[in-house]
Amino acid sequence: MDSEFLERIQRMKLTVDEDEAMTIRLVRRQEILEEYSLSLIGQFLTTRSINLRAAKNLLRSMWKLGDDLKIVDVGDRLLQFKFSMESQLSWVWNNGPWCFDNQILALRQWEKGMTIRTMSFTHIPIWVQAWGLPFDLINEEASQDIGRGLGTFIDVDCKASKSDQARFLRVRVEIPLDKPLRRGGPVVSPEGDEVQVAFRYERLVGWCFTCGRIGHELKEC
């Protein structure tokens, strides 16, 4: 509703003065930008109504931030999460995705110039486990190639492959929301040997088993 209202207003022409630009002064500009740089913008990937008060309380509890976290409703089902420290933001960003009431929370890092109209969520970062690999392919190099095959590679959990229980690869990937998630698939070794692997997506909710995509319920597919 907020974005539709803005579009209608911006299409209207009432007076010639509306074409005159208004310049914003630089007072506290750097301070404001530094404050906003510690922000994430989020949206629950659902058309259902969300109990925002309960969602905010649960996220504060899971993130163990309490009053250090400020959550602002900026309109059009968008939430701005304002952190006090860079370490807090990084921890939340690196350990998602997060959810409430079985609805996944998509997050984006704040960028200067963002508005309701320009906001979109096209990818979601998620930890993926690859099961069924040969022992000699459970390593960092294979993790990067598998990550690129699933989406945009972000990071690899080296501890998982070097621990005393290295049963799978664990890689963090930005998954596109407009494509079905891969449940598994073939992986080819450097020597050309092929093996079928299975993928497990950590903290995943809202996965439609009909079309394989995230963000809607079966009845909406």
Residue 215's pLDDT band (boundaries 50, 70, 90)? Answer: low
Range 101-124 average pLDDT: 87
Q: Which of 214, 186, 200 is nearest to 128 (CA)?
A: 200
Residues of the chain with CATH 3.30.70.330: 38-115
Q: Return the amino acid letter for 19.
A: D
CATH architecture of the domain with range 38-115: 2-Layer Sandwich (3.30)
User: Is residue 161 predicted with pLDDT exceeding 70?
Assistant: no
Q: Please tell me the predicted confidence (pLDDT) of residue 186.
A: 93
pLDDT at 83: 94
pLDDT reported for residue 77: 86
More confident residue, 115 or 143: 143
Helix (H, G, I), strand (E, B) or coil at 47: coil
Q: Is the pLDDT of residue 113 over 90?
A: no
Whole-angstrom Cα distance, residue 206 to residue 218? Answer: 9
At residue 3, does pLDDT exceed 90? no
Find out whether 184 and 150 touch, Cβ atoms under 8 Å.
no
- CA-CA distance, 173 to 129, in Å (whole number)? 10
Task: Write out the two tokens for 7.
Answer: 């579009």
Do 75 and 91 touch, CB atoms closer than 8 A? no
Contact 121, 45 (CB under 8 A): yes
The answer for residues whose C-beta is within 8 angstroms of residue 188's C-beta and 6 or more apart is 194
- Please tell me the distance from the alpha carbon of residue 149 to that of residue 143, in angstroms, as a whole number: 10
**Tell me, what's the pLDDT at 197?**
95
Region 189-212: mean pLDDT is 86
d(CA 11, CA 17): 15
Q: Which tokens in the block code for residue 179?
A: 């494509």
Alpha helix stretches (DSSP H) within the chain = 2-11, 29-36, 52-63, 86-94, 140-150, 158-162
What burial class does residue 205 get, using C-beta atoms within 10 Å of its C-beta: 0-12 exposed, 13-18 middle, 19+ buried? Answer: middle
Average pLDDT over residues 123-130: 93
At 51-98, the pLDDT tens digits run 999 999 999 999 998 888 999 998 888 999 999 999 999 999 999 899
The residue written with tokens 């080819």 in the block is: 188
CATH architecture of the domain with residue range 123-220: 2-Layer Sandwich (3.30)
pLDDT at site 17: 64
| Residue 154, token pair as written in the block | 């972000």
The pLDDT tens digits of the residues spanning 23-40 come to 777 777 787 778 888 999
For Cα atoms 65, 41, 159, give the angle at the middle one, nearest 5 degrees.
60
Indicate the pTM of the whole model.
0.76
**Pick from 202, 151, 206, 149: nearest CA to 173:** 151
Express as a percent the part of the chain with pLDDT over 90.
43
What is the structure's pLDDT at 200? 94
Q: Looking at the DSSP assignment, which residues form a beta bridge with residue 98?
A: 105
134 band by pLDDT with thresholds 50, 70 and 90: very high
